Amino acid sequence: MALQDLTPQSRTRLSRMERAVGWFVLLATALLVFGFCYYLYNTAESRGWFKTKAPFFTFTDRATGLKIGDPVRLMGLDVGQITAMEPQPPEDFQYNIYVEFVLKSPYYGYLWTEGSKAKVATADLLGKRVLEVTKGTGGHPAYVFDPFRIVPIDQAQLLTDWQQWQFGEDIYDATGTNLIIKALSNLSATSLQQASSNGRKQLRVLDARKGQQKSG
């Protein structure tokens, strides 16, 4: 006996049910996608993926107890992580292991040219070690985001808006002991003349014009 076709009423009820199931599946999928995106966002935020990071490096005698991804600590806080570790070339008799790490914002601002050091300390009795950095006590910030350039001193005034550029290094007199120009000072005709008269042929300069900072 052949099966009879569905009546119009049955087809209408079935069509409504299919639409309801379709909407339910669509809503469930949307909620699943939203939950996954929310999880990714919170994970990224907690791990500092959205924060600016500044790269640094140091050297150590051995890599025992350290691994890539380990946290870097400052004043007891986890402020970054180790990103690379490689042995130095065989002919390098001074350093053994190169260690690269990043510090996330705002903690890289605590590292200055005076007082800041990186050291490997013992973390527990099982041989685990941790990389620690110390807060600076003076000098200049160890990391700046202004674009860096080396220029001949006689061409410094050819830079666009050259008086808004800054010295990227301390300038000492001919004896090498007396500081005559501090790093991060703006270029000027007088300071350039001072640097030139003390034998400088090239300068490290920073483009400190507004809007020129690099993002990390």
Residue after which a domain boundary falls, among 141, 176, 196: 141
In a domain, 160, yes or no: yes
pLDDT value, residue 191? 94
In a domain, 155, yes or no: yes
CA dist 206 and 194 (Å) reads 18
Number of independent structural domains in the chain: 2
Give yes or no for residue 180 having a pLDDT over 50: yes
In a domain, 189, yes or no: yes
Is the same domain home to 129 and 156? no
Q: What is the pTM of this model?
A: 0.64
Is the same domain home to 119 and 155? no
What residues have CB less than 8 Å from 70, skipping those under 6 apart?
Answer: 81, 82, 130, 131
Label residue 99 by pLDDT band (50, 70, 90). Answer: very high
Highest mean pLDDT among 21-30, 61-70, 137-146: 61-70
Residue after which a domain boundary falls, among 108, 124, 141: 141
Is the same domain home to 190 and 125? no
**Rounded CA Rg of the chain:** 30
Mean of the per-residue pLDDT values of the chain: 86
Is the same domain home to 124 and 160? no
Domain that holds residue 163: 148-206
Q: Which run of H or of E encompasses 53?
A: strand 53-60
In a domain, 104, yes or no: yes
Residue after which a domain boundary falls, among 141, 156, 173: 141
Residue showing tokens 């130095």: 88
28-50: pLDDT as tens digits:
888 888 888 877 777 766 666 66
pLDDT value, residue 42? 76
In a domain, 20, yes or no: no
In a domain, 45, yes or no: no
